[in-house]
Structure 1
């Protein structure tokens, strides 16, 4: 091994160590700060206590906001998964003129016209439909924004499924919906899990849409409640923020671990490899 090779490996190791520390420090703060009696913005050995969680429990909206986040994320996840499965199967199996142009156009528009850029017409639309301060209106907005990308992702799983599976089912008299339900969906379960987790994470972490469309404090989700842990002068209440951040992150982490354990990377496309 030449000295130049040794230096390159040392430089690469040093770079990877710095990059790992850069990303690991915020996670380390998230784990330690909630149990610190006086948490700060730096990572340090905590003065162990559970008072931060006690203060969090005394907040009238903290834990109820998690229930609202579950409602919004769960409703959006169910809606996106069902509609994406139906649309992806149709686009994958039915020859529609301009199918690819339509799909890429929807994906392009959903990427360019983000929630921030479209909030004015979205607000006007929800106001016209009398869905302001209604959680079902927020769920509809999330479904509409996330559905194009979900269809695009799930269509790849549908395309990877051999048509011979469907033909075998049709020989025995299965209808299109029966083929979709009993043949296609069990095969593309990894794709369904992918878009389900992706939808839930996007909705769970949202702030702007819920902040604008929901007015009742009893209906706002966790992402908006965290904003109330700042004073009018912008001073952060670190004990509450740190404790709530840990509680807020645990459901998503648990869901990821569950899905990763169930499917992992054992699937390629729609067929088990």
Structure 2
């Protein structure tokens, strides 16, 4: 009897938790199609595509999605490339204090892109002449995400048997050839996880692009959302819902594609 009661309570808690997370998604799917959306989750009273038409008429909307794509892919390429090289080196090199260095980098990564560091970051980017430049934003975001990416990827590469590399080294392979032809193919699920994680982090980044990009034509979608409020601070729910739905689709599709291919099973390099 007690087992049945515990199982029922478990299902109830799971149902409540699922409903708690499902309500915002249901609102996001229904509100853009409603001519007069509210905060309530309900079917559209008057089915309309006017909200999407208004988004398409906004000269900055589509451009902001393109800008978000540029920032996300650019940061992802730098983070994955640099993290793969650094994680491989830290995994194989026996350097005193290696683990302490990794944890220190991970700790400092929470400061690099934080609010407290924005003044020195702004001054540095200004002195480099990269204000209002996508490349400057990509460099700052890469610096903030790289330590955590190295930390995650190193644990994955640690599980790859060194015997694979030793065999290749016997046949005269260079370290870069070993990394490219042996380590990277085996660590591909880990690299995919880092890539998706990086894109998600950059896709939703607001503070850094908002401060470093002054031209509205260069600002990403996360910054553009603020323009869907009136001067009094009241949100235009129809435009916010429609734009948020369009804004979410690329990341969701990328996640589903990577999940269907790799499953995000962080087992390590070798499947048993």
> Which of the five TM-score ranges fits, normalised by the shorter chain?
over 0.9
Deviations 1:78-121 (A, max 9, x none): 00000000000110111222211111110112135552221111
Aligned to 1:163: 162
Aligned to 1:119: 118
Work out whether 1:34 is the aligned partner of 2:3.
no
Q: Distance in 1 between matches of 2:116 and 2:85?
A: 28
| Pairwise CA RMSD | 1.3
Q: Distance in 2 between matches of 1:36 and 1:269?
A: 47
1:47-86 to 2 correspondence within 5 Å? 47-86=46-85
Q: Distance in 1 between matches of 2:187 and 2:4?
A: 46
Q: TM-score, normalised by structure 1?
A: 0.96
User: Which blocks of at least 5 consecutive residues in structure 1 are unaligned?
Assistant: none
Residue from 4, 7, 21 that aligns with 2:5: 7
> Alignment length, in residue pairs?
271
Q: Distance in 2 between matches of 1:157 and 1:11?
A: 37
Deviations 1:232-265 (A, max 9, x none): 2111111111110000000000000000000115
Judge conservation of contact 2:190–2:266 (CA < 8 Å) in 1.
Answer: no
Q: Distance in 1 between matches of 2:145 and 2:37?
A: 37
Aligned to 2:21: 23
Work out whether 1:44 is the aligned partner of 2:20.
no
Aligned to 2:174: 175
User: Which blocks of at least 5 consecutive residues in structure 2 are unaligned?
Assistant: none
Judge conservation of contact 1:266–1:272 (CA < 8 Å) in 2.
Answer: no
Q: Distance in 1 between matches of 2:241 and 2:32?
A: 5
CA 1:100/1:267 → structure 2, altered by over 3 Å: closer, same or farther?
Answer: closer
Deviations 1:59-86 (A, max 9, x none): 0100100000000000000000000000
Shift of 1:124: 1.4
Q: Distance in 2 between matches of 1:240 and 1:17?
A: 31
Q: Distance in 1 between matches of 2:191 and 2:215?
A: 33
Aligned to 2:127: 128
Q: Distance in 1 between matches of 2:92 and 2:10?
A: 47
Q: TM-score, normalised by structure 2?
A: 0.96
